[in-house]
Structure 1
Amino acid sequence: MKYEQLAKDIIDLVGGTENVNSVTHCVTRLRFRLKDHDKADKKALEDHEDVVTVRESSGQFQVVIGNHVPEVYKAVVTEGGFENEKQEDNNDEKDEKKKGPLSSFIDIISNIFLPVLPLLMATGIIKGFNSMFVALGWLENTSGTYQILNVIGDGFFTFLPIFLGYTAMKKFGGTPFLGMAIAAALVHPSLAAIGESEPFMTLFSGTVLESPVQVSFLGIPIILMSYTASVVPIILSTYFAAKVERWFASIIPQVVKSFIVPFLTLLIIVPLTFIIIGPIATWLAQSIGFAIQTGYEFVPLVAGIIVGGFWQVLVIFGVHWGIIPIYYNNLAVQGYDMLIAMTFAASFAQIGAVLAVWIRTKNKKLKRLSLPAFVSGFFGVTEPAIYGITLPLKTPFIMSCIGSAAGGAIIAMTGAALYSAGPLGVFKIPTFIHPENGIDGGFWGMMISIIVAFAVAFVLTYFFGRISQKENTEAVVGDGKMQEDVYDEELVEGDVNNADTETTVQNENILSPANGDIIPLSSIQDEVFSSEAMGKGVAIHPNEGRMYAPANGLVTTLFKTKHAIGIKTDNGAEVLIHIGMDTVQLDGEFFEAHIEQGDKVKAGDLLVEFDINKIEEAGYSVTTPIVITNTNEYDRVETVSDDTITKEDVLIITKV
C-alpha cells in the first residue's frame, strides 16, 4: 500500500481516469496513452518528489519512476480501475492501423526525415546565402569561395539518399548501414558517365515514355535516372530490403549470417531498384510532365492551379523531375518558360504556413525548428519546412498547397515567365524580368502571386491549421538529436514481477559487471541517465559480450528484450544494468539470458550474453549504464576513475 498515494497523485495529474485510454510500463517508466495531453499537469508531475521526470514521445505520456515502477504500476491499475488496460491498448493499436494509406505514408516520410532535419536546415540556409551573394554581385559563381560554399550547402542534398537509407532502414526494422550501402550504389558517380554514353536500344520509341538504354544487367535493360537528391526510390528500396534481410536472417546459419545476409540482400535489392523502382518513377514523372504541358496549352488557369497546388506533392514523391527537362527545353527553344514559373509561389506559401505555426504554437521545440525552416524556405529550400513542420502536422501542408495553387493561378493568368535559369527563392525574382521589355505585367503578376500565396497559406494555417500541443509533441524532434527519446523501451502489457525484497541498505562494494572501458555517465547520449535522474553510477563500453552479476542478490527485473537487468543486492543496493542505447529496438535479437527474473545470483555469475559486433552493425551503441537507482538512500555513491576495468574490480562504492 506504500504507493497508493503516489498512484492517486499520478492519476490526478494526468487528467484523471477519464483521460486515460491505457497504461502500460517498461523497466523504468509508466506509459500512458491519454485522450488529451493538454489536461495533464506535466510541471506538477515533474515536481513530485517520487517522480524522476516526465517525457512525451510517440504519442505516449511517460512518467519516469525508477526500478520500482512495476509496484507503482500495480497501484495505478488498482487505484484507477484500469482492469481493461490491455484491451484498450489493443484498441488503440487498431485505431492506428485504421489510418489511410496517405496518412500512413506521410507519417513514414516525416519520421524518416526527422533525424536529418537539423542538417537539412543548415545546408539549406548555406545554399540560400550563396545564391544571395551571387545575386547581389558579392561573389562570382566561378570563384573558389562560391564553389566551396556550394559543395558545403549542396553536398548533403546531392547525397541525401545515403542519409535517408540509414533512417529509412532503421524505421523499417532493417540494418541501417545496409540501407546506406543501397543508397550509395544508387548515387555512385559512375552512373552519370554511363548515362552520357550512346544508347544501344530505345524502349517505347515515339511515345511519351521513350527511354534510351545504355546498360543492361544479366541481359535485362536498365533505364538510368538520377537518384541524387531523390526521396521515394530509396524509401521503397529499403522497405523491401528490410523484408528481404529478415527473411535471409531467418534461414542463413549463424556462423556466416553477418556477411552472407547483407551480401544476398544487396545483390537482390539494388538491381531490383535499377530495373523496376527507378523506371516506374521515371515514367510516372514523364507522364505527369507531358500532361501538365498539354493542359497548360489549352487551359492556363486550371494548369496554374494544378501545377502550383500540387508542386510540393510532386517534389515529395520525386516525380517533379519529369517536368524539369521541359523547363530547360523551353528556355533553350523559346527563350522563356511558363511551366516552372507557375511553381514559384510554392516556397512562399510554405514559409507563410511555417510563420503561422511559429506564431501559434506553444511548443518550444517546434518554435526552434520553425525559424530556420522559414529562413531556408525564404531562399527557396523548402525541404526543412515540408518535412520538419507542415507535412508532419498535415493540415498546414494542405493550407500551403492551397496558397501555392492561388499563386500558380495568378502567374498563369498574367503570363509571367522565367527567362533564365537562376537561384532559388527570393533571388529568383530577377529571372522573371523580360530581357527586352524589362519589368512588364508578367513580372508584377509574379510579385502579386507570391504575396497572395504567402498570405493565403498564413491566414488558413493560422485560423484552421489545427496546431495543437499534442500534434506538435508527436510530430517534432528538436535539439538536433537523432531521436527525442533515446531510451525508449517497447511497451510491456501486464505485470513485471518485481519481488518484494525489503532490505536495510549497508556499505557495499559493487563489482563491475563487464570487462571494458569506463565512460562517465554524464558523457552518454541519454539525458535520463546522464543527468543522474535514475541515480548515480557510471557507464562501461564492454570489450566482450558478457554481463556478470556485480554482487550477491536477487534478479528483480529482467526485461523481455533481455537488454535491461535489475538486481537488488543482499546489502540493499538496487542496481540497474542497461546494455546499450536504444537496443530495445532489437526486440531481444543478439541477446541470450542465462538467468530469469526472481533468480538468486552470486557475484560473478553470468547474466546475459550479447553479440557486440551484430548490435553495432545494426546501428546501436553497446555503451552500458550501471546505476544505483536508490541513490537517495545513501550518504555517498562513488565510482572508480580508471580508464579500463575487469569484472573482478570494484566499480561503485556505496556508503550510508
Structure 2
Amino acid sequence: MNNQMKQEAKEIISFVGGDENINGLTHCVTRLRFNLKEEGKFNEEKLKELPLVKGAFYSNGQYQVVIGPGTVDKVYDMIQEMITTKKPTATKEPSSNLNVLQKGLKLFSDVFIPILPAIVGAGILLGIGNILSAPGVFGTDALIASYPGIKGLADMILMIANTAFTYIPVLVAWSATKRFGGNPLLGILLGLVLINADLLSGAQLSSVISGDVTPEYWSIFGLNIMKLGYQNSVLPPFVAAYVLVFLEKHLKKLIPDVLQLIVIAPVAILVTAFLTFLIIGPTMNQVATWLTSGILGLFDFNPILAGILFGLLWEPLVVTGMHHALIAVNIQLIASTQQSFMLSIITIVCVAEAGADFAMALLAKNKTDRGIAVSAGTSSLLGVTEPSMFGVTIPAKFPFLFSILSAGVAGGLIMLLKIYAVSLGPSGPLSFVIIPAQFWMKHYLVMAIAFFLSFSLTFLYGRIKKLSK
C-alpha cells in the first residue's frame, strides 16, 4: 500500500507539470493545494484517473487535488520529500494572481485550519463532558450522580475542553504570527499576554458597562488603559499578530545583528501589547460584537428562511473554498455565545450528500462506479464530502442538485426546531457529541429526513432518466 501511494504521489507530481512547475504546495484537511508556474501543464483528466485522487479542480488561485482526510497528510509528506531536495522553498505560496476576496479567504484558511484539530478535539470532549454531567440523558439523574466515581473524570474532561476556547487567543496568535512570517513563539507570548490572570476577564465586560464591576486601569502618559483580557476572542489576537510581525520585520532591518536578540522581542511585544490594549483590542471586540449580532440578527429576522439558504449554500461554498471564512466566524460565535445554528445545519448537510451517494450506488451500471459511490457516501456520513462532490454528485449534476435541495429543507427544519450546536466537531451520525442532549431526537429526525429526501429524489430521477433513454 505504501509503495502504491508513493507511486501515485510521483504521478501527481508528473500530472501537475513536474516538480519544476511547482511554485508552492500546502494542504488542508482533504486537499493538496498547488501553486503552479505554468497552469496549462495541470492535467486534470489524468489526475482523476488515479485511485488516490477523488477530484481535481482550480479554485481561489490554486490547483487543488482532493485526496481525503488522513491520507492527504501522508501524500503531502511524500511529495515534499520528492521535491524539497531540489526546491527548499516549495512550501511558499505566491498569491499575486489572486484577487482581494481570494486573498482574504486564503488568509483565513491559512490561519484557522491549523488550529481546527485543537478546536474540534475540544468540542468533542465538551460534548462527552456534557453527556456525563447533564441530567436527563440516561435517565432522570446525570451519570455523575448515578456513578460518583466518574465525576472527577467528567470535571477533567470539561476543564480540558474549556481550555481551548478560553485560551483561543494563544492558538490564533500563534497561527497568525506563523502565517504572517513572524516568530511563532512571539505569537504564543502575545496570546498569553492577552489572557494574563492579572487582567479582568473579557467575559465581565458587560458587567463593566452596566456598572456592576469596577475595572482597573494603567495610567501611561496621561492615558487610562483598561486592564481587560481577551479570553474567548478571535479578532483581537488575529490583528495584533499582524502588528507584531510588522514590527518584528521592520526592527530586523533597523537593528544591528548583534543587538537583535535582546532588542527585537521585548520591543515588538511591548509595543504590540500597548497598541492592543489601547486600540486594537477594543476596536476588534466591537467588530466581533457587530459580526456576531449581525449573524444572529439574520437568523432571528427570518429563522426558517435563513436556515434554508444556509443549507442550500453550504456545499457550493465548500466547492469554492469560501466556507473557510465561515469557519472563522463560527469559532468566534462559539467563543462568544457558546452556540451556533450554522454548525448544527452543517452536521446535516453531509448526510444529504450521503443520501445522493447511496442512490447513485444503486443506479450504477458497473461495480467500479458502485464502489466509488459507496465509498464516497461512507465518507460523507463521517463529515467529509469532497470525495462525494468531486467524484460522484457534481460530475452527474442532478445528485448534487438534489443533495443541496435536501440540505436546504433540513436547514429550515433545524431553525424551526431551534437546534443548535455547542462547538465545532464531527458531522453526520457522530454529531450528537456537539448537540445538546435535549435536541438529539429532533436532530436525528431531521438527519433522517435529509438522507431519505436526497436518496429518494436522486434515485427516482435517475430511474426516470434511464427509462426515458
Give the counterpart of 1:227 among 231, 242, 262.
Answer: 231
- Write the distance in 2 (CA, Å) between the matches of 1:176 and 1:99: 26
- Write the distance in 1 (CA, Å) between the matches of 2:337 and 2:179: 31
TM-score for the superposition, normalised by structure 1: 0.41
2:102 partner amino acid: S
1:318-346: CA deviations, max 9, x gaps? 54269739x8xxxxxxxxxxxx6x54632
- Write the distance in 1 (CA, Å) between the matches of 2:295 and 2:413: 17
Asked if residue 130 in structure 1 is aligned to residue 138 in structure 2, the reply is no
Shift of 1:176: 1.0
Asked if residue 251 in structure 1 is aligned to residue 290 in structure 2, the reply is no
Secondary structure at the aligned position of 2:272 is classed as helix
Partner of 1:564: none
1:143-192: CA deviations, max 9, x gaps? 21211122234433433332343333222111110000011112223334
Q: Which moved more, 1:289-298 or 1:269-278?
A: 289-298
Partner of 2:243: 240
Shift of 1:138: 3.2
Change (3 A) 1:111 1:289: closer
Are the aligned partners of 1:56 and 1:62 in contact in 2 as well (CA < 8 Å)? no
More strand by share: 1
- Write the distance in 2 (CA, Å) between the matches of 1:407 and 1:233: 35
- Write the distance in 2 (CA, Å) between the matches of 1:166 and 1:303: 34
Asked if residue 410 in structure 1 is aligned to residue 413 in structure 2, the reply is yes
Partner of 1:148: 156
1:194-216: CA deviations, max 9, x gaps? 8649977x5xx9xxxx9998344
Asked if residue 158 in structure 1 is aligned to residue 166 in structure 2, the reply is yes
Shift of 1:64: 5.2
- Write the distance in 2 (CA, Å) between the matches of 1:344 and 1:323: 14
Secondary structure at the aligned position of 1:255 is classed as helix
Partner of 2:369: none
- Write the distance in 2 (CA, Å) between the matches of 1:157 and 1:239: 21
- Write the distance in 2 (CA, Å) between the matches of 1:39 and 1:227: 49
Partner of 2:14: 14
Change (3 A) 1:138 1:354: farther
Secondary structure at the aligned position of 1:345 is classed as helix
Give the counterpart of 2:432 among 426, 430, 444.
Answer: 426
Are the aligned partners of 2:105 and 2:324 in contact in 1 as well (CA < 8 Å)? no
1:379-422: CA deviations, max 9, x gaps? xxxxxx79x999xxxx99x999987764442244x4x3479999
Shift of 1:244: 1.0
1:484-522: CA deviations, max 9, x gaps? xxxxxxxxxxxxxxxxxxxxxxxxxxxxxxxxxxxxxxx
Partner of 2:46: 39
Secondary structure at the aligned position of 2:257 is classed as coil
Partner of 2:333: 320
2:252 partner amino acid: A
Shift of 1:220: 4.5
Are the aligned partners of 2:177 and 2:187 in contact in 1 as well (CA < 8 Å)? yes
Change (3 A) 1:356 1:145: same
Change (3 A) 1:127 1:292: closer
Q: Structure 1, unaligned stretches of length 5 or more?
A: 1-9, 44-54, 71-88, 328-339, 361-369, 378-384, 434-442, 461-656
1:316 partner amino acid: A
Are the aligned partners of 2:251 and 2:264 in contact in 1 as well (CA < 8 Å)? yes
Asked if residue 105 in structure 1 is aligned to residue 104 in structure 2, the reply is yes
2:100 partner amino acid: P
More helix by share: 2
1:349 partner amino acid: I
Are the aligned partners of 1:411 and 1:449 in contact in 2 as well (CA < 8 Å)? yes
- Write the distance in 2 (CA, Å) between the matches of 1:420 and 1:64: 42
Partner of 1:214: 215
- Write the distance in 1 (CA, Å) between the matches of 2:183 and 2:301: 50
Between the aligned residues of both structures, percent identity stands at 18
Partner of 2:265: 262
Secondary structure at the aligned position of 1:237 is classed as helix
Are the aligned partners of 2:119 and 2:424 in contact in 1 as well (CA < 8 Å)? no
Shift of 1:315: 5.3
- Write the distance in 2 (CA, Å) between the matches of 1:455 and 1:275: 54
Partner of 2:277: 274
- Write the distance in 2 (CA, Å) between the matches of 1:223 and 1:253: 34
- Write the distance in 2 (CA, Å) between the matches of 1:121 and 1:303: 25
Larger RCO, structures 1/2 (Cα 8 Å, 6+ apart) = 2
Instruction: Write out the 4+ residue segments of structure 1 that deviate beyond 6 Å after TM superposition.
Output: 10-13, 40-43, 58-62, 197-200, 210-213, 306-312, 353-360, 370-375, 398-404, 418-424, 454-460
Shift of 1:133: 3.4
Give the counterpart of 1:179 among 181, 187, 191.
Answer: 187
Change (3 A) 1:117 1:172: same
Q: Structure 2, unaligned stretches of length 5 or more?
A: 1-9, 25-35, 52-73, 315-322, 362-376, 395-399, 426-430, 458-469
Higher CA-based Rg? 1
Secondary structure at the aligned position of 2:231 is classed as coil
- Write the distance in 2 (CA, Å) between the matches of 1:233 and 1:316: 13
Secondary structure at the aligned position of 1:190 is classed as coil
- Write the distance in 2 (CA, Å) between the matches of 1:322 and 1:12: 40
